[in-house]
């Protein structure tokens, strides 16, 4: 079976659980603080692996205690860490997250080692035809572009999750097979105001991205579900209703599970349904990687869902 290769960020998440997010200039008390393994790249790798596919992580850690803990966590998950390097005199990436009682979060990322890549990472990419290569925007654009250029030359599929969002270069757009965005990223990349409540509006935003040259677009809308678009068709998947406690890494769970589904032979709509279920489970639990379900958990609900 082919593998998932995640080239991306690895962070330690420092999470404050609060009633409501503080306003600018306001000081508030929180309920508790917790440390969780995170980083969009690492979360997506955990999701790929827990959903059953062979997974290689390519990332950068510092030589500090966080780096030690995060590497040990990935090994324990069974992720191939052959592409993870620890950099001397460098801090591991961290994320400062507040999670409100509504389950909504806000995140500040300090990149640390995630911003420090030399060309050696290209030697850590044993990409084969049929593999799926994933990246996000928490590492330098240059690294993402070189990764996708190599992935396409090797016959792999590429999935881009452009978050935290900024414009996508033509080179990256043309080497992206699947673009996965939420409504904020859809608005930023299409230049349109997006209302997640309006299917017409989502369709208009996705059509703009198709006109810009993206080939297939997946829009994740949280409690409004998921929409798939390419030149020939669109597909709607409704969300499961759940009691959400923490939305952190729901998008990462979705993308990793989507990848695992595609690698197992599902078509895009079926893989997206599987990923939608996985993400719906993740929001019922606290933390990033810690909230990601296993294949057994997802399959149990999938069977009930398709009855």
Active-site residue numbers? Answer: 252
Among 64, 77, 131, 138, binds ligand RIB (CB under 6 A): 138
CB of 276 to ligand RIB, least distance (A): 17
134 binds ligand RIB (CB under 6 A): no
Site string for ligand RIB, 20-39 (x = CB under 6 A): ------------------xx
Q: Which is nearer to ligand RIB, 139 or 295 (CB)?
A: 139
Cα maximum dimension of the chain: 55
Burial of 112-133, coded b for 16+ CB within 10 Å and e otherwise, reads bbbebbeeebeebbebeeebbb
Smallest separation, CB 289 to ligand RIB (Å):
7
Nearer to ligand RIB, 59 or 83 (CB): 59
Interacting residues with ligand RIB between 205 and 264 (CB under 6 A): 248-249, 251-252
298 binds ligand RIB (CB under 6 A): no
Could you tell me if 154 and 129 are in contact, meaning their C-beta atoms sit under 8 angstroms apart?
Answer: yes
Task: Please tell me the total number of residues recorded for the chain in this structure.
Answer: 307
Is residue 64 a contact residue for ligand RIB (CB under 6 A)? no
Q: Residue 40 interacts with ligand RIB (CB under 6 A)?
A: yes
Tell me if 60 contacts ligand RIB by CB under 6 A: no
Query: Minimum distance from CB of 43 to ligand RIB (Å)?
Result: 5
Among 3, 6, 7, 13, binds ligand RIB (CB under 6 A): 13
Contact string (CB under 6 A) for ligand RIB, positions 99-128, x = contact: --------x-x-------------------
């Amino acid at each position: 079976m082919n593998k998932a290769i995640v080239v991306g960020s690895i962070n330690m998440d420092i999470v404050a659980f609060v009633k409501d997010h503080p306003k600018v200039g306001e000081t508030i008390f929180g309920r508790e603080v917790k440390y969780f393994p995170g980083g969009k790249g690492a979360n997506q790798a955990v999701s790929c692996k827990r959903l059953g596919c062979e997974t290689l992580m390519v990332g950068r850690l510092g030589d500090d205690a966080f780096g030690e803990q995060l590497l040990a966590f990935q090994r324990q998950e069974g992720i191939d860490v052959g592409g993870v390097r620890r950099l001397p005199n460098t801090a591991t990436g961290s994320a400062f997250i507040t999670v409100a009682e509504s389950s909504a979060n806000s995140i500040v990322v300090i990149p640390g080692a995630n911003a420090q890549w030399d060309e050696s990472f290209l030697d850590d990419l044993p990409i084969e035809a049929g593999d799926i290569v994933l990246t996000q925007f928490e590492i330098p654009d240059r690294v993402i572009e070189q990764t996708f250029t190599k992935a396409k030359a090797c016959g792999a599929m590429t999935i881009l999750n452009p978050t935290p969002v900024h414009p996508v270069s033509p080179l990256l757009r043309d080497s992206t097979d699947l673009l996965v965005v939420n409504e904020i990223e859809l608005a930023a990349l299409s230049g349109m105001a997006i209302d997640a409540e309006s299917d017409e509006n989502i369709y208009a935003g996705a059509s703009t991205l198709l006109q810009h040259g993206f080939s297939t677009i997946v829009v994740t809308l949280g409690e409004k579900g998921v929409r798939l678009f390419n030149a020939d068709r669109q597909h709607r998947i409704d969300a499961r209703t759940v009691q959400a406690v923490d939305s952190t890494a729901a998008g990462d769970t979705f993308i990793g599970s989507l990848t695992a589904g595609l690698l197992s032979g599902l078509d895009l709509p079926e893989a997206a349904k599987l990923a939608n279920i996985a993400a719906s489970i993740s929001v019922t639990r606290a933390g990033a990687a810690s909230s990601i379900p296993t294949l057994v958990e997802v399959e149990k609900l999938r069977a009930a869902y398709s009855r």
